[in-house]
Amino acid sequence: MGTYNLEYPKDATNTVKRYNAHAVYALETIHQIVNTCQILHVSFNTSSQPFPVVLPMIGQMGSFDRPSADVGDPLELYLHGYVSSRMMNTCKNSGNGDVDGGEQEGMPVCVSASHIDGLVLTLASYSHNYNYRSTVLFGYATHVKDDAEKLYAMELITNSVVPDRWRHTRLPPTKAEIQSTGILKVRITSGSAKISAGQAHDDKTDMGNEAMLDSTWTGVLPIHQTMGEPMPSSYNRVDVPSYVSEFVGDFNRDNTQLSLDAAEGARRAL
Amino acid sequence: MGTYNLEYPKDATNTVKRYNAHAVYALETIHQIVNTCQILHVSFNTSSQPFPVVLPMIGQMGSFDRPSADVGDPLELYLHGYVSSRMMNTCKNSGNGDVDGGEQEGMPVCVSASHIDGLVLTLASYSHNYNYRSTVLFGYATHVKDDAEKLYAMELITNSVVPDRWRHTRLPPTKAEIQSTGILKVRITSGSAKISAGQAHDDKTDMGNEAMLDSTWTGVLPIHQTMGEPMPSSYNRVDVPSYVSEFVGDFNRDNTQLSLDAAEGARRAL
């Protein structure tokens, strides 16, 4: 299905108004940004206070019904958290977080994933900018109660932290582990991404300011996440396996390249 | 005031329940996490939809009334955004975002700042963890309308991106630039931080599993943000100045050290 270049429909919720030339609605782009983000920021409301709550969580787009689905296909977002946490309880207590309820649609949530690729320094402070890739998804969260789907999500999320890690851990998880792992599934209703990439750019007036041009450094400070040397635990007995060392190498190479591509103005989505 | 080790009072909003040994309420720790985070995730509600909205924004803790305030003092959060953006409009249209209103307290917001310091790989998938520093602040956002306070916030935020950048940019900002820069000030009502640091740790049963110990790598993959070589713009005429190169060096050294300290279990707040 990925070949159809599916997009989230634009509506009042997700339509990007500011710098809308940077907006992307393609599922593939949006899902990639989410899946490569190590921390998602998830927002929900509680009945007891006027503030929405934002919590950092780990999550991954996937499809239990069609595990072979492509990243550009319609997918759900699986989020990991401890079952008795505030969010899980809110989802439960709101009386609409029960997947078995059928007609109940779930707890409204907003999920944001953001990567910073660089700091763009210009002559005018006003023209300073970040190179970034960010996405916002809206949807309804429900508790996953089915053990098979829970296991699917636990494997999906573990392998999103380090590819292929799941089958190298002690399997299967115990019943107690499965019970105390809370998984939320978010049915996505809309989403959008904003991607900003490029070099420093000043307006005409500043570009004619010879004194500023002669005195002020302009350009991009590329930024990327880096993994350092793996640090073995006190009880580790084995060498760093290839699936770990290759992941660290790929992670560092890909992220470095992304920050350089962004500075050169390439709008790559990965 | 920093020497008093002020803390945010614990109430229903901010009290950390899960892993509460990791919780920190000290203003200094919380404000440091916010001030070193390049993107904050800000959540607010709109009247037109059931979902809260989360947007990535740039911000910094500060005090216009007492600019020399210490990071551990009571501070406001200044957020930067375009004035006609959805958030700015929501703040305006909610009829409570007017600082001149006196009695109006502002738009309820939640702000989250998160740093990842490492991936903690254990024998059981259930025991996997991140080393991280995250904080959540609750408060009421109002528009800053006073030009002097706006300029204070613009300088504060520009210098948070690259220290000392402000005075190296074209000054002063034009009237049009000031007018079209939206600054929100968040009066903080409560906040908390969670800091997780340490090496891999498995439970007793798994630690007795010789086959797993002989086959599975356990330890920490330290993670930190890195800045690459500064990339000059096509119109740059000057060498990388020392305030930029020193910033890049400090940033890389400090972040690398933080990720290593975290893996060794040191709970440093910076």
Contact criterion met (CB < 8 Å) for B221 and A256: no
Residue A83 has pLDDT above 80, yes or no: no
Q: Do B236 and A217 touch (CB under 8 A)?
A: yes
Distance CA(B53)–CA(A222), nearest Å, equals 28
Q: Is it the case that residue A97 has pLDDT exceeding 90?
A: no
How would you label A42-80 residue by residue, b for 16+ Cβ within 10 Å and e otherwise?
bbbbbeebebbbbbbbbbbbbbbeeeebbbbbebbbbbb
Single-letter amino acid, residue A9: P
Is the CB of residue B12 less than 8 Å away from at least one CB of chain A? yes
User: Beta-strand (E) ranges in B96-128?
Assistant: 107-121
Candidates A108, A231, A244; nearest CB to B51: A108
pLDDT score, position A104: 56
Question: Greater confidence, B19 or A173?
Answer: A173
Amino acid, single-letter form, for residue A224:
H
Nearest to A217 by CA among B246, B231, B229: B231
On chain B, the residues whose CB falls within 8 A of the CB of A58 are: 130
Q: In which band, very low, low, confident or very high, does the pLDDT at B98 lie, cut at 50, 70 and 90?
A: very low
Partner B contacted by A224 (CB < 8 A) = yes
| B151-164: pLDDT as tens digits | 999 999 999 999 99
Residues of chain B in contact with residue A53, where contact means CB-CB under 8 angstroms, are: 43, 110, 136
Taking the C-alpha atoms of residue A193 and residue B256, their distance in angstroms, rounded to an integer, is: 30
- Give the bridge partners for A135, in sequence order: A113, A193
CB contact under 8 A, B228 and A232: no
Mean per-residue pLDDT of chain B: 90
Say which residues have a Cβ less than 8 Å from residue A213's Cβ, sequence separation at least 6: A123, A207, B235, B237
Q: What is the pLDDT of residue A267?
A: 56
pLDDT-derived band at A270 (thresholds 50, 70, 90) equals very low
Query: Rounded distance, CA B242 to CA A217, Å?
Result: 11
Question: Residue B23's pLDDT is what?
Answer: 87
User: Picking from A48-52, A172-176, B38-42, B94-98, which range would have the lowest pLDDT averaged per residue?
Assistant: B94-98
User: B99 vs chain A: nearest CA distance in angstroms?
Assistant: 19
Of all residues in chain A, the one with the smallest CA distance to B80 is A126
Least reliable range by pLDDT among A223-232, B17-26, B105-114, B248-257: B17-26
Q: Average pLDDT in the B129-133 region? A: 96
Q: In this complex, which of B200, B214, B228 lies closest to A260 when CB atoms are compared? A: B228
pLDDT band with cut points at 50, 70 and 90 for residue B80: very high
DSSP classification of residue A269: -
In the predicted model, is pLDDT for residue A269 greater than 60? no
The nearest CA of chain B is from the CA of A193 a distance in Å of: 11
Taking alpha carbons only, the member of B60, B92, B57 closest to residue B77 is B60
Concatenating the DSSP letter of every residue in A216-227 gives: ---EEEEEEEEE
Q: How much is the average pLDDT of B222-248?
A: 98
pLDDT at A221: 98
Q: Is B240 left (phi over 0), alpha (psi -120 to 50) or beta?
A: beta
pLDDT for the residue B110? 97
Interface touch A45/B55, C-beta < 8 Å: no
pLDDT band at A89; cut points 50, 70, 90: confident
Cβ within 8 Å of residue A176, ≥6 positions away: none
Q: What share of chain B in percent tops pLDDT 70?
A: 89
Report chain A's mean pLDDT, rounded to a whole number: 90
CB-CB under 8 Å, A200 with B217: no
Cβ contacts (< 8 Å) between B209 and chain A: which residues?
A: 170
Contact B222 A228 (CB under 8 A): yes
Question: Which residue in B95, B100, B101 sits closest to B47, CA to CA?
Answer: B95
SS3 B62: strand
Count of all residues that appear for chain A in the document: 270
Work out the burial of residue A164: count CB atoms within 10 Å of its CB; fewer than 13 is exposed, 13-18 middle, 19 or more buried. middle
**Contact check, Cβ <8 Å, B218/A212:** no
Kindly tell me if the per-residue pLDDT of B250 is higher than 80.
yes
Cβ under 8 Å to A: B residues 13-52: 13, 17-18, 38-39, 41-45, 48-52
Exposure letters B150-188 (e unless 16+ CB within 10 A, then b): bbbbbbbbbebbbeebbebbbeebeeebeeebbbbbbeb
| Chain A nearest-CA residue for B241 | A217
Please tell me if residue B233 touches chain A, with a CB cutoff of 8 Å.
yes
The answer to whether residue A125 neighbours chain B at the CB level (below 8 Å) is yes
Given B122, B223, B229, which is nearest A225 (Cβ)? B223
pLDDT band at residue A98, thresholds of 50, 70 and 90?
very low
The helix or strand, by DSSP H or E, that contains position B80, with its residue range, turns out to be: strand B76-82
Alpha-carbon distance A225 to A121, whole Å?
A: 20
Band of pLDDT at residue A99, cut at 50, 70 and 90:
very low
The reported pLDDT for the residue numbered A78 is 98
Gap between the Cα atoms of A121 and A132, Å rounded: 14
Nearest CA in chain A to B259: A228
pLDDT tens profile A100-156 = 444 458 999 999 999 999 999 999 999 999 999 999 999 999 999 999 999 999 999
Question: How many CB pairs below 8 A link A and B?
Answer: 308
Beta bridge partners of B59: B79
Residues of B in contact with A134 (CB under 8 A): 39, 56
Place of tokens 């259930």: B126
- Nearest in space to A81 (alpha carbons), one of A13, A154, A3: A154
Mean pLDDT value of segment B51-57? 94
Q: Do the chains contact at A219 and B233, CB–CB below 8 Å? A: yes
Please state, in angstroms and rounded to a whole number, the distance separating the CA atoms of residues B221 and B218: 10
